[in-house]
């Protein structure tokens, strides 16, 4: 799976298991995309303040 960078809006997040989160993004270039933020629901995660 290729890795790319883009500015995006977060449309929605879903809980996945105990520590993960599914994030739905909207980008200008690539449209609506989904991704998994591993460990995003842990208190010491770097994603906590970002999502």
Count Cβ atoms below 10 Å from residue 26 Cβ, excluding itself.
13
Residue 24 in any domain: the answer is yes
State phi, psi for 40 to the nearest 5 degrees: -70, -20
Under the banding of pLDDT at 50, 70 and 90, the label for residue 41 is confident
Mean pLDDT for the stretch of residues 17-28: 92
Q: Which residues contact 10 (CB under 8 A, 6 or more apart)?
A: 23, 24, 25, 51
Residue 28 CA, chain-centre distance (Å), reads 16
Count of structural domains, the chain: 1
Mean pLDDT computed over 24-42? 89
- Domain membership of residue 23 as a residue range: 8-37
Residue 1 lies in a domain: no
In a domain, 30, yes or no: yes
50 inside domain = no
Does 21 map to a domain? Answer: yes
- pLDDT, greater one: 30 or 45: 30
């Amino acid at each position: 799976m290729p890795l790319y960078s883009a500015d995006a809006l977060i449309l929605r997040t879903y809980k996945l298991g105990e520590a993960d989160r599914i994030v739905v993004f909207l980008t200008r270039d690539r449209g609506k995309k989904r991704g998994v933020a591993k460990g995003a629901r842990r208190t010491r995660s770097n994603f906590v303040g970002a999502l």
